[in-house]
Amino acid sequence: MDTAVDIHLLELRYAHTRVIKPANFRRLRNSIETYGQIVPALVVEDTEKKLVLIDGYLRVRALKACGRDQVLINLWDDNEQNAMFSVLSKSGERQWEAIEQAVLIQEMYRRFGCSLGFIGNRLGRDKSWVKRRLDLVEALPEDILNAVVEGRLSTWAAGRVMAPLARANVSDAKKLMAKLEKEPLSTRELSRLYEHYKKSNRSVRSRILENPSLFIKALSEKQKDKEALNIHDGPEGKWFKDIRMICRVLKHLTETVEHVCYSRQEKHLQWIEKLEKQVLELKTAAGIDL
């Protein structure tokens, strides 16, 4: 039977397993302010007779934000472990984030000592699925996991970027997280950055982590330049490609000239004068006022 209890009596043992989504929280808070709490929170008594909140953490958070000091609960006559499995297995009633599933599975594995096979059977999943979920959360440093739970880092970013990065280099993952806290990147930007990180050497990786936002900005500018020079196909497109290649060669020659020639060296002067003449001819042909 549903009953109201003081919020401070609840044991919020699994608060760390729920990801906070600001938009969802605002909608629920507005609903409670208008209509009150409609769906009771799920609670069980543990062996010490404490009221353990199993499901309804967002409701409790919204009630507190509305200045309420009581919560409507449904007290289940079951043990804590069974209640946790029951809630987690009802995926059709609640859209669990992968991180939330992973942290709850970690609780089953560590707190209750359940084997991966047993957890899989209770959830209707195979053992490899349970292992992947567990690996996901155990790869993340605590500060990064907290950022996900608190809604400061998306679950996509945690699963697709931060977790694999942390498995390879925990220090780099923490450095990137610290930068993202100050200057967040979009999902697309973070994905691009990680792809470049994976194929870069140590020196480039260091520059990427030093200023991720600046690195993304430089990539965007480079892409714009590339698009501007590749807007035409056919002969015109080939002409732009050829002149870009010539510019790169000239840049290389300028950077290395002091190592291969000296002032007034006749052989080099002849070629430089010929190059100058050809550049003038090109400007004339292009209709550039000399």
The predicted pLDDT at position 276 comes to 83
- Between residues 43 and 22, the one the model is more confident about: 43
Whether residue 235 is contained in a domain is answered as yes
Q: Is the pLDDT of residue 234 over 90?
A: no
**Residue 45, strand partner residues:** 51
**Residue 242 covered by a domain:** yes
What confidence tier does 149 reach under pLDDT thresholds 50, 70, 90? confident
**In a domain? residue 57:** yes
pLDDT confidence of residue 254: 81
Q: Mean pLDDT lowest for which of 182-191, 260-269, 281-290?
A: 260-269
pLDDT at 230: 58
Last residue of a domain, one of 77, 103, 134: 77
Is 157 a member of any domain? Answer: no
Question: Is there a domain that residue 152 lies in?
Answer: no
In the predicted model, what is the mean pLDDT of residues 176-195? 94
Residue 247 pLDDT class (50, 70, 90 cuts): confident
Comparing 261 with 121, the larger pLDDT belongs to 121
pLDDT for the residue 106: 94
| Within-domain flag for 30 | yes
Please count the structural domains in the chain.
2
User: Is residue 109, in this structure, part of any structural domain at all?
Assistant: no
* The pLDDT value given to residue 90: 75
Q: Which of residues 41, 62, 77 is at a domain's end? A: 77
| Residue range 75-93: mean pLDDT, rounded | 85
CATH number at residue 57: 3.90.1530.10
Q: Per the domain annotation, does 207 fall within a domain?
A: no
Inter-CA distances, 58 with 3, 29, 176, Å: 18, 9, 29
Percent of the chain past pLDDT 90, that is, above it, reads 61
Residue 225 in this model has a pLDDT that exceeds 90 = no
**Strands 41-45 and 51-55, bridge-based pairing:** antiparallel
pTM score of the predicted model: 0.66
Domain final position from 59, 77, 95: 77
Residue-range definition of the domain harbouring residue 50: 1-77
